[in-house]
Amino acid sequence: MEFRHLGRSGMLVSEISYGNWLTHGGQIEEDRAVACVRAALDAGITTFDTADVYSGTRAESVLGRALSDERREGLEVLTKVYGATGPGPNDRGLSRKHMMESIDASLRRLQTDYVDVYQAHRYDFETPLEETMQAFADIVHAGKSHYIGVSEWTAEQIREARDLADDLGVQLVSNQPQYSMLWRVIEAEVVPTSVELGIGQVVWSPIAGGVLTGKYQPGRAAPKGSRGASLGQFVERWMTDEVLTRVGELEQVAKEADLTRAQLAVAWVLRNPNVSSAIVGATRPEQVTENAAAAGVRLDDELVARIDRILGDAVVTDPAETAKASSRTRD
């Protein structure tokens, strides 16, 4: 495993992080979830990402139990706040009330006194940014998180938050966006702004919901139980014969690089120097082991150019797509 600084902070994170969206407390039983976490640790992964809303808060609890015997100082644990964690009108969003209550609940579930990065899962248009950032600052100053981060925020939102964080004496160090060979919407605006401000990307879905592994074939329905069958519009945009045919042509590129297609996809996102870590999820331990092997892989420029030619206009680059990730309301 290799390590990178999280933005301009002094903290190092593993190039590959383990994330438990959909899996822990949901798709897989706890014994298999623990086996996946063990495989991640065995592969040298030290960075673990979760969120309070994953599997109705169960994912944090499963991860907390899986890591309970590990040396806490040797791990970087990231979680998020924003989505609904209860039935009440204040059980969601980035109000001070919800954030202060949510950090304590997350710490209980994760069985830890602090997280390393506490992240705003989405931008909250219904709460003044000043209120959100003051709550973040108080959480950091109380020792409940070392750093703060955001997820799927636009370049303008990141800049405004960073200015407030500086005034409040806390470090905004990360953004967590979707990023893959097929989804490159952060490259035009978010990445340049983040480089300027010293913010690193911890990217999710580097294999595009499994599409870039080659598991989905043109003219065939997604296998039952796969993410292609369960994630709806998130994956549907790529489940066309044209896109899947293009993705199929990446098999030869991966072979020439002595990589699996999943490893090729993860290595591709890691070639971006603003990417601090790529989050991988898994339903089986061997998937973790396979994906972790992408750490340290360096793709040459000619190979990257071939990937671009193969994927062509299947790639989404419009920076306006980032703004669509955050709803104008909390519903």
Q: Count of CB atoms within 10 A of residue 90's CB?
A: 11
Three-state DSSP at 214 gives coil
DSSP label at residue 328:
S
Please report which residue ranges of the chain form alpha helices under DSSP H. 30-42, 58-67, 96-110, 129-141, 155-168, 190-197, 227-230, 233-236, 241-248, 250-256, 261-270, 285-292, 301-311, 320-323
User: Residue 138 CB: number of other CB atoms within 10 A?
Assistant: 16
Which residues are known catalytic residues? 54
Q: Distance (Å, rounded) from C-alpha 26 to C-alpha 58? A: 8
CA dihedral 236, 27, 225, 205 (to 10 degrees): 30
Q: How many residues does the chain have?
A: 331
Q: How far is it, in rounded angstroms, from Cα 330 to Cα 323?
A: 15
- The number of angstroms, rounded, from the C-alpha of 208 to the middle of its chain's C-alpha atoms is 12
Residue among 208, 176, 159, 227 at smallest CA distance from 316: 208
